[in-house]
Amino acid sequence: MAEPSFATASDYENRYGEVDDQERIQNLLDDASAYILAYPGFENRPDDPVQQRNLTRVTCAVVHRALAGAAWSGLSNVSQGAGGYNASATVANPGEDFYLPKGDRLALGIGRARIGAVTPYRTVEP
């Protein structure tokens, strides 16, 4: 059975604007979906409309962050000078890797504390 893709190229374009290569974006969205499915603690709930909406948003955001590694929006620090002609920039995601920040993990239900109890079962012999 094929794994689900949580977002389409159209979902991505609706959030971040038109893209040149829809096939490439769809492949990245499929990869991001697989990344989320394999994330420790993630449980897909297809009957939960809120989680499904968050999955679409987060999947698009994961791809957007990966693609922003080569653009100015992917920089974590920029400094420029004038008289001494110096400029410096630090790339936030130089390897263009997928990652889920804390807010996205919480939106997907990953990392929330759970508590439970186990009652021991014992048979009593008459």
Give the pLDDT confidence of 8-55 residue by residue, as tens digits. Answer: 999 999 999 999 999 999 999 999 999 999 998 899 999 999 999 999
Q: Report which of residues 126 and 111 the model is more confident about.
A: 111
Instruction: Return left, alpha or beta for 111; rule: phi > 0 is left, psi -120 to 50 is alpha, else beta.
Output: left
Among 68, 54, 51, 53, smallest CA distance to 16 is for 68
At 68, the amino acid letter reads A
Percent of all residues in the chain with a pLDDT value above 70, rounded to a whole number: 77
Could you tell me which residues are beta bridge partners of residue 89?
78
Q: Report whether pLDDT(78) > 70.
A: no
Query: What pLDDT sits at residue 13?
Result: 95
Residue 84 neighbours by CB under 8 Å, 6+ apart = none
Both tokens assigned to 58: 């987060």
In this predicted structure, the answer to whether residue 76 has a pLDDT above a threshold of 70 is no
Output 77 or 85, whichever has higher pLDDT.
85
Closest of 68, 77, 76, 78 to residue 98, by C-alpha = 68
Average pLDDT over residues 60-68: 88
Mean pLDDT across the stretch 98-111?
85
